[in-house]
A = this chain, B = another copy of it.
């Protein structure tokens, strides 16, 4: 069961710029990259396709080349807890470098997505040959750990206003262009609510109330204009 479950799984031989785009490898020399590429394989998924179900065995490193993925925990009750959104350059399966491991939770394509796949044995060889890859992975993992700890901090906030204000400020920092006071959501609001550990209804209400106060302006379904950053900062409180 080491093959991702998909309803439609196109194998593509063209691994072209797949490796070059990725932070983990992009400092290697031209020749080294060629070598890595020879081990990599491209794979494509359509929006809504499931790459892995909870418990599926993962024995390969997978790096996003194009598109977006969503990682979530699925509870028996049917609830879905989104805990990570992956974009170009992000990867999953790093644990497979050491030992066969199982997917904790669901991995789903949020849009047309292309990934690079490097089997376990191959990545082990690569890491052994180019120690710098291990360092790159290490740095990447450190970053991920930091942002996950950030999410923990956010979730430990007891009231919703803080969480929503904080996440808006984070999104503003991470996804908007310099100085732009516009947040563009790359996921639906329901998923954002799940990420925040609240119900979609509560998120909707909170955003409406923020808008009523004049802190923000909701435009369409995916755009949030920040009108009063200071107010949000104050609500977000510490950190």
Contact = CB atoms under 8 A, between A and B. Distances in A.
A53 interface: no
A71 to B, nearest CB: 9
Contacts of A134: 131, 134-135, 138
Interface stretch (A13-21, A30-38, A141-149, A221-229): A141-149
A238 B77 contact: yes
A140 B55 CA distance: 21
Contact of A155 (B127, B144, B156): B156
Nearest to A139: B98
A74 B237 CA distance: 11
A129 to B, nearest CB: 10
Interface string A74-101: 1111010101100000000011011000
In terms of DSSP, what is the predominant structure of the interface of chain A? helix
Interface residues on chain A, size class: 35 or more
A135 B127 contact: yes
A211 interface: no
A158 interface: yes
Nearest to A154: B155
Interface of A: 73-77, 79, 81, 83-84, 94-95, 97-98, 104, 127-128, 131, 134-135, 137-139, 141-142, 144-146, 148-149, 151-153, 155-158, 194-195, 197-199, 237-239
